[in-house]
Amino acid sequence: MLAFVSASVLSALAVGVTAFAAFHDALLTNVEQQSVDDARSRIGVLAPDLTYPPDQQALDRFRLMVADATLVTYQSLESGDPRGKDLVSPELRGAVGARGVLVFQRVNSSTGPKLVIGTPVVLTGLDGARTPSGLEVYLVRDLEPTARRLDSTLRIAAGAGLLTTLAAVLLALLSVRGVLRPVRHLRDSARQLATGDLGSRAKVHSSDELADLAATFNDMAERLQRSMTELRHREQNSRQFVADVSHELRTPLTTLNAVVDVLRGDADRMTAEQRESTTLAVEEVGRLTRLVEDLLEVSRFDAGTARLQVREVDPREIVEQCLDLRQWRDLVDVSGPRGTTAVLDPRRVDVLVANLVSNALRHGAAPVRVRLTVDETTVRIEVRDSGPGLVEAAIERVFDRLYKHDSARTRSEGSGLGLAIALQHARLHGGDITAGNAADGGAVFVVVLPRYAGGSQ
């Protein structure tokens, strides 16, 4: 809009200045020419009636007979009008006397611009010969009417320029509005699409290039919506499949665990080969059971059905019960205050601590230290092992599902879901887990939970 208005204003200004300059020069030239012609005509009519050589009285009468005559000279005689005599400059008189031709110039006075004309009087004889008479006449014509006319023209030109500018601004606003309105609609639709509203579409009101752009955007949004809908449907089906399969596996796994318990009890009466096979079967059934339980837990998070069951608990007591239940007390050093209270989901905190400690024992090295800190607003649980620590690539992906840094360890006890589940439990409380390395070695996992989950206190 600014470019359009600027171009319009500059064009109008250039045209106006050029036109006014041309009019100014033409008007002044016309006025000057008329004044010169009139002066020549009057002097040509009156000069032959003058008696030569004229005396002072004759000069005075001649000056009064020639309209606008300010000064008349003949050799040493001079007849002048005091009101305008000073306007005849010595330079003008010198030019008339030296060149012997009509000369004029514009001068400024206290009463406005004037045109001063100086001309010698030349007598024409019967034979057509022209003889200088020695008489010089100087006339002063008032240019104030011409100046007022020029000023009026300038005001009219300025008014026309202003109207042109206003018209240009109005036209620019209309043009810009016509261009920017569909652009704004397209921008708003893109923002809605970026925020997840896949049903957002741009409005198409015309058939120009912007309409083509809007139509292309709508086609893109339509394809994106179809693709996302299909992906979400596939993802939902995959999650449902995992949940269904995990649920269906629980019944046969229960039977397998019962059989494994019987085999474990009869291990003493087996041969060495039978005991080795039984031990392997027990480990694999246990690993499969943990994997199915983890998949079920993950499916609950994915389905959005996981809910907190909070109550007032002692965080130190939850940590110690977790270690006792899994017979890890001899491998883990626990520190932290006793007798403090927090509003948490004890089952989920138990699973969270168990997964972190299990990961430390499996991939780190003993002793594993669990440090508990409770302040007014948070419960902080730090799990640190004495192993080599995490490599840089593992720190960024350690909470990804099914992630194993060492791809060769495909038969490890872990399912690759433990840390991902621990993170989900922490976030369900409104907290978080960070992973890193201690300065003196060993991996460190820090859990920060709100002391009063759900805002209860």
Residue 410 pLDDT > 50: no
Mean pLDDT value of segment 279-307 = 75
Residue that has been written with the tokens 């499949």 in this structure: 241
Predicted confidence band at 406 (pLDDT cuts at 50, 70, 90)?
low
Residue 139 pLDDT > 80: yes
> Residue 411's pLDDT is what?
47
> Residue 104's pLDDT is what?
83
Lowest model confidence (mean pLDDT) among 249-258, 267-276, 316-325: 249-258
Tokens at 289, concatenated: 């059971």
More confident of the two residues 350 and 269: 350
> Residue 433's pLDDT is what?
95
pLDDT tens sequence across 325-365: 989 998 999 999 999 999 999 999 999 999 999 999 988 88
Rounded to whole angstroms, the Cα distance separating 287 from 249 reads: 13
Closest to 442 measured CA to CA, from 378, 338, 366: 366
Q: Which residues of 260-292 are buried (b: 16+ CB within 10 A; e: fewer)?
A: beebeeeeeeeeeeebeebeeebeebeebbbbb
Rounded to whole angstroms, the Cα distance separating 381 from 351 reads: 13
DSSP string, 53-117: S--HHHHHHHHHHSTTEEEEEETTEEEE-TTTGGGS-HHHHHHHHHH-S-EEEEEEETTEEEEEE
pLDDT tens sequence across 150-171: 778 778 777 777 787 788 778 7
Rounded to whole angstroms, the Cα distance separating 316 from 372 reads: 7
Closest to 402 measured CA to CA, from 313, 312, 250, 294: 294
Tokens at 360, concatenated: 């430390």
Amino acid 342 reads: A
> Residue 409's pLDDT is what?
42
Rounded to whole angstroms, the Cα distance separating 138 from 105 reads: 11
Fill in the DSSP letter of residue 319: H
pLDDT tens sequence across 179-201: 677 777 778 888 888 887 878 88
Predicted confidence band at 126 (pLDDT cuts at 50, 70, 90)?
low
Mean pLDDT value of segment 132-137 = 81
More confident of the two residues 331 and 411: 331
Closest to 451 measured CA to CA, from 376, 354, 356: 376
Closest to 430 measured CA to CA, from 319, 356, 349: 349
User: What is the separation of C-alpha 393 from the centre of its chain, rounded to a whole number of angstroms?
Assistant: 35
Amino acid 38 reads: D
> Residue 197's pLDDT is what?
81
Q: Which residues pair with 306 in a beta bridge?
A: none
Rounded to whole angstroms, the Cα distance separating 265 from 173 reads: 90
Query: Could you tell me what percent of the chain has a pLDDT over 70?
Result: 89
> Residue 143's pLDDT is what?
76
List phi, psi (to 5°) of 141: -110, 135
Q: Identify whether the C-beta of residue 383 lies closer than 8 Å to the C-beta of residue 445.
A: yes
Mean pLDDT value of segment 87-115 = 80
Amino acid 384 reads: R
Predicted confidence band at 291 (pLDDT cuts at 50, 70, 90)?
confident
Q: Identify whether the C-beta of residue 417 lies closer than 8 Å to the C-beta of residue 354.
A: no
> Residue 449's pLDDT is what?
95
> Residue 394's pLDDT is what?
83
Q: Report CA Rg, the chain.
A: 54
More confident of the two residues 81 and 318: 318
Q: Identify whether the C-beta of residue 69 lies closer than 8 Å to the C-beta of residue 139.
A: yes
Closest to 357 measured CA to CA, from 366, 348, 347: 366
Closest to 335 measured CA to CA, from 371, 306, 305, 311: 371
Q: Which residues of 129-147 are buried (b: 16+ CB within 10 A; e: fewer)?
A: eeeebbbbbbbbbbbeebe
Lowest model confidence (mean pLDDT) among 21-35, 96-110, 408-422: 408-422
> Residue 408's pLDDT is what?
39
The answer for residues whose C-beta is within 8 angstroms of residue 150's C-beta and 6 or more apart is 23, 24, 27
Tokens at 325, concatenated: 């239940």
Rounded to whole angstroms, the Cα distance separating 334 from 323 reads: 9
Q: Identify whether the C-beta of residue 403 lies closer than 8 Å to the C-beta of residue 414.
A: no
Tokens at 247, concatenated: 């649920």
Most confident of 43-57, 253-267, 338-352: 338-352
Mean pLDDT value of segment 144-148 = 77
Most confident of 238-252, 327-341, 409-423: 327-341
Q: Where are the beta strands (DSSP E) in 125-283?
A: 130-142
Q: What is the dihedral of CA 6, 10, 16, 21, to 10 degrees?
A: 160
Summary mean pLDDT of the chain: 80
Residue 434 pLDDT > 70: yes
Q: Per the omega criterion (within 30 degrees of 0), is the bond before 367 cis?
A: yes
No. of H helices and E strands in the chain?
10, 12
At residue 349's C-alpha, the angle toward residues 346 and 352, to 5°, is 150
Q: For residue 296, what is the enclosing H or E element?
A: helix 272-303
Angle between helix axes 144-194 and 2-46 (nearest 10 degrees) is 170
Mean pLDDT value of segment 299-327 = 87
Residue 56 pLDDT > 70: yes
